[in-house]
Structure 1
């Protein structure tokens, strides 16, 4: 069993901080060209997009080439051809590549991935460290370990026979579609199927091509054969429509919006008779994650969880707290401490290590979040009690914003925003059970949530009533920051297929089992004993 990669602190004067700052300066002072990578070859289409820093969007880090119909077909052919080579690798040989990738990432590649994530996705040093260094190396190592356990899991054999299970890769290719918010997810989605012997088409989010490119280079150095993962950034609608209609599609590994995932599933359904096999569909989508506080809650711990859970990485985590239910008899103390702590939050570039928050990812996201804030400002059912200011003159900056609503089903209590907005509803503590039911029924999602209480009876009630409200449920802790191997991550309802990334559950989706029985002493007469007469 591997150990989780230790998180470095980047304290003043530390070696890791000096190295990270050098890498940040190196990346800022160069503009690179990012090609497609198909069958190991760099492909340049001339149809270019830009990788910019969200906190200083006039600064271009790179230009990347976009895939079109021709390149998508090339990538499919490359993936199918690479299967012939990849099939020759034993599972031991495959796993060794990803174990090596984990060790490279945690040593010589650590500052590279962290700096790329900080600049390209506007993450502070700590958020980048727990993501692109620690979680991604954990994914590589834990997936390798769980893959080994799968291959070693064999059926019983009776005397005279030998039964064995052959864990085959899926017949065809896997399509990995990755989000902007976590480099670790971007690296895990194409590599988890690859560990199990599949070949992959990888379409990274257009706003996170920069760090994704360095992940591809890392995998190349680790020894991944050409064509096993084919890197095809570009417009999702164009690439997706081509890939999803191909008869060789064997699986989809997706993290992103619920609507996009539903559209992909619908497209698969419409093309189901065209495929050579039924595609495996694995997805983690949206969330409307909650904290329910009981009147017995520790106020200091509750406020810390609200602030960290809602505003770390600008609320752009699938698991970020975006709605809270607070009893009225502790609200005064909660509000007082929260307002005090929020005033200490600094916002700005991740290059300034004193900033707790940075920029949201792009103009589209900025406008969407701002529209929710304006809706709350103009509503008679809500008031903004902190923040609410937005500034996109240099970067896409939005203040941590707290909305207080009288309506428990207010728009910002139901809809996923994916930004630094927390909506609070105050309830009568005598209505604790009713409030738990309200929390369960308000949102279509079921990703993460938490209960804060010192009263064990209240915790038990919350666990039972909210049993389907969150695939990751936390007691007296923020509902973000799941660690590979410790809190398997994923949710159901509108939040996805709950196939728990970084576990055996997920890896089993990328294999098709063949059962083999070998009879050492086969029967030589068709007659059974029961057929004999007395």
Structure 2
């Protein structure tokens, strides 16, 4: 058999379709939505070569129409966690030994399937299951997931090509092995792309995976598994289970072959997991890799030189696209008094034009929050704000959960920059604003840095380049993704690697080679062609 050094096709970001009236993509996704709504899905777990169904079925419903049943998935038990681990370990040797270009081809084919025949299906599943409008679904479940698969294949090839220098008479080599054991992917509801990338990235590098998605994302997770299977992913490489978190964690974090976790979710859960891993560290064959992206309390800092219209657009899009349920969503804003009147007026104008409702109506900008628990949590913040004499509801403030979990885009103006909604992660369509005097700008920079435990995203709006440079330096640890004159959301794979530090995670930058290094264990090989035949060195010779 002949071998060679192979070049991955140069990745290009997947073009975002617009879904204009009458467009083919609009008609295709409408048909896919109708198909999903006309039948009840029966979604199994995928363990090894089996599709497993149980006696415990969990109902799936659109968050914007919670009386409608999309179908059911089959919930597992501890038995299925153990079975998934065994399947992953059984598949590991053959998968790790498969030449890397063949692993890459599977995921590149999956990307093309998503870009073509599965595009409408994955978008419709995301729209219905996670209540995303067509555009938000397109940039997530189609484009970003496609980009993750294509760019990660390119990064993998570039990593493998990195080799050490060799002295005369020696050949030094680096092997990039997968981790020893299995990887646990614990994925969130809010991005289908993240939920797909967390198991796919380590799998591409030769690892085998136990994948547990959020229950509210199962519909689109199942479509991605359909894509992977059609692309030729071998049985047991990615094992998809639906099991209660503590049940899964109790088994996985006590298993000797646990090699790492790829996580996106809440800070509290991640810290709990980290503690469990630490307590069990003596049980593992290797020190597990812990990679996580968690919460955010993302800021928009506005300088007196900023353009009010640009700020208003950044706030409305940054805070209220996908109902503020992005880890990167603008949640707190600091606006100078000289601009506040103009910004407030423009934000109110924009929000008066925003429609809210189900995803099936493409004129709706805002849809429902993910479930009843989120609805109650977010509405409680709004109710508390309404009762406070230190807070003014500038826009929105209403909600209705009778048909769907709908909460109006809400803007809260606070008198105290340490008020709860300025500090705590809400994860919903609530933007808190503090208006400051321009002369206090330097102290506001410190307030931005010190208010939150998080450090995920943030932005500065300013026309003064000296101010932009100063803020960029002063807030270098306050945001892993920092935006200048733009909203703090919308990171693109290959352009803005995503992740934050502090309580926002390990900052391992999904969408870059930095993340892939975490799923590799390098072995250095030195081969000496003519070994010495005596232990001595020249310095030992007598004068």
Shift of 1:378: 1.2
User: Are 1:335 and 2:344 matched, yes or no?
Assistant: yes
Aligned partner of 2:267 in structure 1 is: 258
Is the 1:206–1:235 contact (alpha carbons within 8 Å) kept by the matching residues of 2?
no
Alignment map for 1:136-285 (pairs within 5 Å): 136-285=145-294
Give the match's secondary structure for 1:185.
helix
- Compute the displacement of 1:406 (Å): 0.3
Aligned to 1:49: 58
> Following superposition of structure 1 onto structure 2, how do residues 475-490 of structure 1 map, counting pairs within 5 Å?
475-490=484-499
Whole-angstrom distance in 1 between the partners of 2:26 and 2:410: 30
Q: Select which of 77, 81, 103 maps to 1:94.
A: 103
In 1, are the aligned partners of 2:460 and 2:485 still within 8 Å (CA)?
Answer: yes
Tell me, in whole angstroms, the C-alpha distance in 2 between the residues paired with 1:316 and 1:425.
21
TM-score (norm 2): 0.98
The CA distance in 1 between the partners of 2:530 and 2:63, in whole Å, is 69
Aligned residues: 534
Instruction: Kindly indicate whether the alpha-carbon contact (under 8 Å) linking 1:67 and 1:239 is maintained by their aligned counterparts in 2.
Output: no
Give yes or no for contact 1:40–1:230 (8 Å, CA) kept in 2: no
Quick check: 2:81–2:243 contact (8 Å CA) kept in 1?
A: no
Match for residue 403 of structure 1 among 388, 412, 415: 412
Gaps of at least 5 residues in structure 2 are 1-9
Answering whether residue 31 of structure 2 is matched by residue 22 of structure 1, we say: yes
- 1:126 maps to 135
- 1:433–1:461 contact (8 Å) kept in structure 2: no
1:303 is aligned, of 307, 312, 333, to: 312
Quote the Cα distance in structure 2 between the aligned partners of 1:91 and 1:413. Answer: 47
Partner of 2:326: 317
Matched residues in 1 for 2:395 and 2:273: separation?
Answer: 38
Deviations 1:182-211 (A, max 9, x none): 000000000100011100000000111110
CA contact (8 A) 1:78 1:227 kept: yes
| Residue pair 1:401, 1:421 contacting (<8 A) in 2 also | yes
Distance 1:279 1:46 in 2: 34
Superposition deviation, residue 15 in structure 1: 1.0
1:404 & 1:360 partners in 2: Cα distance? 22
Question: Does structure 1 residue 465 correspond to structure 2 residue 495?
Answer: no
- Correspondence 1:420-431 to 2 at 5 A: 420-431=429-440
Instruction: State the TM-score, normalizing by the size of structure 1.
Output: 0.99
Aligned residues of 1:187 and 1:215 also touching (Cα < 8 A):
yes
CA deviation string 1:96-145 (max 9, x = no partner): 11111111111111001000000000000000000000000000000000
Measure how far apart 1:25 and its partner are.
0.4
Deviations 1:485-516 (A, max 9, x none): 00000000000000000211000000000000
Give the distance between the partners of 1:31 and 1:234, measured in 2 at CA.
Answer: 21
1:212-255 deviation digits (Å, cap 9, x = unpaired): 01111101111110000000112112212221111110000000
Query: CA–CA distance in 1 between the matches of 2:159 and 2:482?
Result: 27
1:288 to 297, 312, 324: 297
1:32·1:62 contact (CA, 8 Å) conserved in 2?
Answer: yes
Measure, in 2, the Cα distance between the counterparts of 1:433 and 1:295: 12
The answer on whether the counterparts of 1:171 and 1:250 sit within 8 Å (CA) in structure 2 is yes
Q: Secondary structure at the match of 1:13?
A: coil
Equivalent-residue separation in structure 1 for 2:102 and 2:163 (angstroms): 20
Q: Distance in 2 between matches of 1:495 and 1:360?
A: 22
**Structure 1 counterpart SS, 2:69:** strand
Which 5+ residue runs of structure 1 have no aligned equivalent?
none
Match of 2:361 among 352, 358, 383: 352
The aligned residue for residue 113 of structure 2 is 104
How many Å separate the matches in 2 of 1:361 and 1:529?
A: 74
- Quick one: distance in 2 between partners of 1:330 and 1:295? 7
Aligned-pair RMSD on alpha carbons? 0.7
Distance in 2, Cα, partners of 1:11 & 1:336: 29
Superposed displacement of residue 386, structure 1: 0.9
More divergent stretch after superposition (232-241 vs 483-492): 232-241
Mapped pair 1:474 → 2:483: yes
Summarize deviations over 1:411-466 as a string: whole Å, max 9, x none: 00000000000000000100111101101000000000000000111111211111
Q: What are the within-5 Å matches in structure 2 for residues 432-511 of structure 1? A: 432-511=441-520
